[in-house]
Amino acid sequence: MSDNMHHQWLLLAACFWVIFMFMVASKFITLTFKDPDGYGAKQEPLILTAVTKVEEVHVPEEKRWPEEFQPTGKAFSGNLIRQPLVHMERLELLRNVCRDTALRNLSHTAVSKFVLDRIFVCDKHKILFCQTPKVGNTQWKKVLIVLNGAFSSIEEIPENIVHDHEKNGLPRLSSFTDAEIKKRLNLYFKFFIVRDPFERLISAFKDKFVHNPRFEPWYRHEIAPGIIRKYRKNRTETRGLQFEDFVRYLGDPNHRWLDVQFGDHIIHWVTYVELCAPCEIAYSVIGHHETLEDDAPYILKAAGIDHLVSYPTIPPGITVYNKTKVERYFSGISKRDIRRLYARFEGDFKLFGYQEPDFLLN
């Protein structure tokens, strides 16, 4: 009986010893590998691999990925921790599509004066911003105007000054010499914003041909009649420019003869490729209008200016992709015209990860 009790006590003691050793080992492992900031030793090989890939597109070293991505205030979303990976994936996708020879005609363009005219310069903080109209560019211009010192705060900037390039203090990259342009393209932090291509076209149509600001009468009185004369099927129709006319114009492979007549006004609806040459210029960040609540503070942080200026408040829901609106606008358009439109903007869809619309697949 005493032997049995002795064996039971030995067995119990052994069990306690094993449990104790397991707890010590677990604590040791936790202390060794715990990553308090989310970017510790365990993740370092992944981050190094991704940065190596980004270097292939020549993103300036000092501006690529700041050491800390922790939120610094209310403007920063909790999603900011994941932002570096999101933006690296976007650059990776861009590079892969740029290499696709089948899409070369839709993804490549010359870095012409037209492109250089779209890029605004902030020499003080070494930043280049490519303007892509109808994706919230007015707010980014305000940010750069403040950074360049023309105004001390965004609230002080009169609306009529923002797009007055003689008064807003924003030089265009085209205003520099070839050597100065090359230097800035190689060394500065460069970014632009994109949006679902079809939703952007709807925004451009509504802004320029439906609401039509009083200070831009040429859209309704000069450009719209030119499109109607060429592309309206029903010659007896007397209404102003319809979205169907606009789509037919944009999808026409021979649209350029009208583009030349319209001049720089076409910036509101030409492709991102034509505006910013993303396969020729190594951009540091490509923001998306649909995720601007996260992308705006990330861009400010990555550019090293988040302590100097904030992106203006974004009204709730304004950046969300409105699928219902897009489907409604395209519901009366023939499949042939939609396919021709998509054929022109396919490069934008593929380069920036936007899905081909469902109504085009049905």
| Residue pair 273/347 in contact by the 8 Å Cβ criterion | yes
Mean pLDDT across the stretch 289-311?
Answer: 95
Residue 45 pLDDT > 50? no
Token pair, residue 314, equals 């974004």
**Which residue pairs from 99-107 have beta carbons closer than 8 angstroms and sit at least 24 positions apart in sequence?**
100/350, 103/346, 103/347, 103/350, 106/271, 106/273, 106/344, 106/346, 106/347, 106/350, 107/273, 107/278, 107/279, 107/347, 107/350, 107/351
pLDDT digits (tens, 9 = 90+) for 175-229: 999 999 999 999 999 999 999 999 999 999 999 999 877 778 889 889 999 999 9
> What pLDDT band is residue 298 in, cutting at 50, 70 and 90?
very high
pLDDT digits (tens, 9 = 90+) for 113-156: 999 999 999 999 999 999 999 998 999 999 999 999 888 889 99
Q: What would you measure as the largest C-alpha separation in the chain, in angstroms?
A: 112
pLDDT digits (tens, 9 = 90+) for 305-336: 999 999 998 988 889 999 999 999 999 899 99
Q: pTM for the complete prediction? A: 0.76
Residue 79 pLDDT: 52
Residue 77 pLDDT > 70? no
Please report, for residues 195, 207, 208, 271, the alpha-carbon distance to residue 212 in angstroms, rounded to integers and kept in the order given.
21, 6, 5, 21
Closest CA to 191 of 113, 274, 118, 99: 118
In angstroms, the CA 306 to CA 290 distance is 21
Residue 9 pLDDT > 90? no
Residue 68 pLDDT > 90? no
Residue 78 pLDDT: 47
Residue 233 pLDDT: 85
